[in-house]
Amino acid sequence: MGTIAFIGLGNMGLPMAKNLVKAGHTVVGFDVAEANMAGLEQAGGRRAASAGEAAADADAVVTMLPAGPHVREVYMGTGGVMERAKSGALFIDSSTIDVDSARAVAAAAEEKGFEMVDAPVSGGTGGAAAGTLTFMVGGSDAAFGRAKPILETMGKNIVHAGGPGTGQAAKICNNMILGISMIAVCEAFTLADKLGLDRQKLFDISSTSSGQCWSLTTYCPVPGPVPTSPANRDYQPGFTVDMMLKDLKLAQQAAAGSKAATPLGANAAALYQLFSASGRGNLDFSGIIKMLSGV
Ligand code: NAD
């Protein structure tokens, strides 16, 4: 068991860091929000005064930060991780960030002789606490091989997506499918209501027909057919509208940079932006049916 620096101890990072402590690692944490470090100390970890200090004695550095600029700053900033980490340390960034930032930080790490993977997650805070996250990992075979045993203490499915940045690419492509398919399912239920088609009947038919998808069968946006879906608790999250919007915007940024045509992704981003602007960004993303049905 080695020493792991954990930077970014928020809603996801703290429970993930706790699972590393539980697995027997020495975990040295840092977060700009002082209060977030107390939780790690209570769980048996240590606190550091900066990201660079946390990284100084670490065999591996894990980051779970809000967005690309935070990740660039923590790794590449003055006194940051790359300046202070010891030779041979492995870097794992699990934040959801833009592909360009992920590739820029990975390239800078490689130039300085460090191995790095981008390893964004799916599974939410519940998965982070239970240690059942899915990690989508971008990086070399060697870096993936070193990261895997660490990621296995925080997750259940560890998938090697390809070279640097492909973990982030997998995450935003998947969530673009999810955002678009949720809107499609919401529109279908809205139309069914207008046509006098019973919601349960539409569910029974489409869930065994060609309209079948996760947004329908696991996360059904109307109450009733899937008792565990957020629709049954007035759209309490779950996965919030604002988190979906963040990922859809990252997908649009990547599409613009790579000249990919993603018209439905663009529409999904615009609709989630509209829904968020109506003050409902903290609802579960399946709640967009409220806006589409005029409720
Ligand atoms: P969060 O805001 O709760 O946590 C981020 C933490 O980073 C905060 O505690 C903040 O104080 C800290 N931070 C910011 N700048 C810092 C810096 N320079 N140095 C040290 N700490 C710094 O967010 P979260 O929900 O934990 O999400 C983290 C990442 O995981 C995001 O990229 C998010 O998109 C992604 N994600 C979140 C979920 C979810 O369900 N919450 C699911 C999948 C992926």
Look up the pTM and report it: 0.95
* Cβ-proximal residues to 174 (8 Å cutoff; 6+ apart), any chain: 122, 136
Q: Which domains does the chain have, with CATH numbers?
A: 3-163 (3.40.50.720), 169-292 (1.10.1040.10)
Maximum pairwise Cα distance, the chain: 67
CB distance 188 to 58 below 8 Å: no
Q: Which residues are catalytic?
A: 171
Tell me the two tokens of residue 39: 């939780």
- Spatial CA neighbour of 59 closest among 120, 18, 6: 6
Compute the Cα dihedral for 248, 253, 256, 258 and give only its sign.
negative
Task: Report the atom number in ligand 1 closest to the C-alpha of 243.
Answer: 34
DSSP 287: G
155-162/115-118 β-pairing: unpaired
Q: Whose CA is nearest to atom 12 of ligand 1?
A: 8
pLDDT tens digits, one per residue of 27-52: 999 999 999 999 999 999 999 999 99
Q: Whose CA is nearest to atom 9 of ligand 1?
A: 10
Check if the beta carbon of residue 254 is closer than 8 Å to that of residue 269: no
Is residue 44 a contact partner of residue 20, using CB atoms and an 8 Å limit? Answer: no
- What pLDDT digit, counting tens, does each position of 199-212 carry? 999 999 999 999 99
The rounded percent of the chain whose pLDDT value lies above 90 is: 97
Band of pLDDT at residue 171, cut at 50, 70 and 90 = very high
As a whole number of angstroms, the distance between CA 44 and CA 208 comes to 49
